[in-house]
Amino acid sequence: MSCPLHPKLLFLCLLISLAFFIDPSSQHLEVKKKLMREKVRQMFYHAYDNYMTYAFPHDELKPLTKSFTDSLSELGNLKLEHLPTDYNGSAVTLVESLSSLAILGNSTEFEKGILWLSENLTFDIDARVNLFECNIRVLGGLISAHLLAIDPTNRLIQGSYNNQLLRLAEDLGKRFLPAFETPKGLPYAWINLKNGVMENETTETSTSGCGSLILEMGALSRLTGDPRFESAALRALRQLWRMRSSLDLLGTTLDVVTGEWLEYSSSIGAGVDSFYEYLLKAYILFGKEDYWLMFHSAYLASQKYFRHGHWYHEANMWSGKPTYWQLTSLQAFWPGLQVLAGDVAAANLSHREFFHVWEKFGVLPERYLLDHQIIHPTMKYYPLRPELAESTFYLYQATKDPWYLDVGETIVKSLNMYTKVPGGFASVRDVTTMQLEDHQHSFFLAETCKYLYLLFDDSFVAKKNYIFTTEGHPIQVMSSWHEKLPESYFSGNWTFSKSGAWESQASALSLQVCPSIAPNSRRPEQQRESACHVPDKQIDHRCWTNKECGVDATTCRQRSCSGVGFCGLWNPL
C-alpha cells in the first residue's frame, strides 16, 4: 500500500501497515493463554484459601463439610495408630503447595509457609505412615521448596532462610532408613516415624513403593552430603531390577523379606507407573547411565507386551500374555513420560485416547474396561487426579500445537463445572452421576493446578531445566549432580555437529530437558530420535537375518530383513 506524505496521515498509515505483520491467530492465542492462566490461578486459590481457612494445620481439606482430615496417617488409606492427643496434623497440603505458590509468584505466602513449618512441623510422632506416599508428598515437597528458597533468582525469600526445610527433610529421611533393613534392601511399605518398623508389619509392597524413591532420597544425599539416603534407594532399585523376568517385565506387588513376587500382572499403571518414571527422571537428574539402560530395556518391553494400538493393557510378567484389558487413570501420565523420552508421536496418539474418555464422561474414571468399553463397576470415581493435565503440558511444550491448549481449557471447564464447591474442590465419587465425595487431595494443589497453570504460562520453566517428581515437585537439573563420563566414552547414539564434535545423544532426553525447552532445540544437527530406537547392526542397513535389524524410531516396531537383504518395516501390523 502507498502512504501519503502528510506527517499525521503518514504515521497512521505506518500503524496500519504494521498491523499487517501481526499474526491475528498468534494474538488470539496469547489472549487465550492469559485468560486461562488467570482461571487456573483462581482455581488454585479457591482450593488453597479454603484449606487454610477450614483445615490448616491439619493435612487435607474436606470441602463439602468444610472440615479436615489428617492424611499423613491415612496415606495408603490406613488409619493412624497410637496418635498423640495433642497431634494437630503435619500440614501436608501446605508442604505440597509451596512449589505451586512459588510458580504462581506468591513469595509472601511461600515465605509464611516456610516460617510456619520451620517452627511447628515435627516428625517425632508415634505415627505409622506409608513410606512411598510420605516420600513423594512430604520429603519431595520439603526438598523442592528448599531448592526454590535458596535460588536467588526466584526472589522468594525477603528475610533470612537458614536451610530449615532441608533440616526437616534430613530428619524425615533418617526416619525412613529402618524401612530398608531387610535381607535384600527392599523397603517395607509402612514405617513408624518414631519407632521404625513395627512388630508383625506387613511385608507386602508394590513395585512403585520400592522403585520410586531415588529422586527424593538421591537429592537429599546430594544436598546433605550423607550418602545413606541415595545408597538405600539405589540398592532397592537395583534389587528390584534383578527380579525382572526374562522379558524385562516386573510384577505389581512383592514380598520385601523373601524377595518373591506376589502379583504377576505387569503394566504401566497403578503399582508400577512411577517405577518407569523414576528410571528416566533419575537419569535426567543424576546423569547415571545405569538408569537410562534400565529405562530403555523396560520401555522396549512395555511397547512389545502392553501396547495394543494406542492403548496399553496389562500382561503376565513371565509369559507376556495379556491379563487385564483396562485403562486406569494413573496411566495418563505415560504420554508425558514418552515426551521426555522423545517418543512424541506415540505420546500424542495415547494422549488423544485418554482425552476421548475424558470427553465421554466429563472427567477421567479411575478404571475403564477396554474390552467392554465401559467403566469398571466398582471404580467409577475421579479423585481430582493430575495425570492427563500433566501429559497435556508436556505435549504442548514439545509441539506448541494449540490443540493442547484446547484440551487444557476443557479440563479446567470440567473441574469448575463438576467439582468446584463453596468449600474448595471435591473428588467425584461416581463419574456417571457426578456425585461428589468430601475430599480435596493435596495433589490437587501440588499437581493438577500446577500443570494446568504451566500449560498456559511456562515462564517458570522457560529459562531453567527442571524435572518434576511424581508428585509434581520441581527439582532443578544441575550439572554438579551429574556423574562425569570419561572423554573416551561414546555411546552408539551420539549425534555429531557439522564441526565433527559430539553435541547430544539422539534421544530427546540427551539434553535432559523437555524438547521445546532445550536451547537450540530446532537446530537440524540436533535432531532427536525416539527412546525406543535401536539402530540396525550395519550402517548401510544391509542384513542376512532379522537379528541384525533394530527397532524403528517412529513406530517402535521391530524391523526385519527383506528378501534382498535390507532392514525395514516389511511385515504388516
> Distance (Å, rounded) from C-alpha 473 to C-alpha 479?
19
The partner residues of 475 in beta bridges, in order of sequence, read 467
> Distance (Å, rounded) from C-alpha 63 to C-alpha 450?
20
> Distance (Å, rounded) from C-alpha 225 to C-alpha 269?
34
Catalytic residue among 216, 277, 366, 457: 366
**How many Cα atoms sit within 13 Å of 151 on the Cβ side?**
18
Q: Which three cell numbers stand for residue 184?
A: 535384600
DSSP E strand stretches across 58-211: 60-62, 67-69, 128-130, 190-192, 204-206
3-class secondary-structure state, position 60: strand
To 5 degrees, how large is the angle CA 450–CA 459–CA 22? Answer: 120
Catalytic residue among 133, 277, 409, 438: 133
The order of strands in the sheet holding 253-255 is: 204-206, 253-255, 261-263
> Distance (Å, rounded) from C-alpha 443 to C-alpha 390?
12
Q: Which three cell numbers stand for residue 254?
A: 512383592
Q: Which residue has the cell 502528510?
A: 6
| Crossing angle (nearest 10°) for helices 228-242 and 214-224 | 150
Residue 133: active-site member = yes
Taken in order 505, 507, 513, 515, is the CA torsion positive or negative? positive
**Annotated binding-site residue? 470:** yes
Most distant pair of Cα atoms in the chain: their distance: 93
**How many Cα atoms sit within 13 Å of 175 on the Cβ side?**
27
Residue 353: active-site member = no
Catalytic residue among 387, 390, 437, 529: 387
Kindly report the number of other CB atoms within 10 A of residue 341's CB atom: 23
Nearby residues of 519 by Cβ (< 8 Å), 6 or more positions away: 511
> Distance (Å, rounded) from C-alpha 347 to C-alpha 395?
8
Catalytic residue among 109, 248, 273, 529: 273
DSSP 559: P
| Crossing angle (nearest 10°) for helices 24-54 and 403-414 | 30
Length of the chain counted residue by residue? 573
Nearby residues of 228 by Cβ (< 8 Å), 6 or more positions away: 177, 221
83 to each of 126, 127, 193, 352, how far by Cα in Å? 6, 6, 12, 45
Q: Which long-range contacts (CB under 8 A, 24 or more apart) does 156-159 make?
A: 156/102, 156/107, 156/110, 156/111, 157/107, 157/111, 157/114, 158/107, 158/111, 159/111
Residue 38: active-site member = no
Residues designated as active site: 133, 273, 366, 387
- Annotated binding-site ranges: 470
- Annotated binding-site ranges for Ca(2+): 470
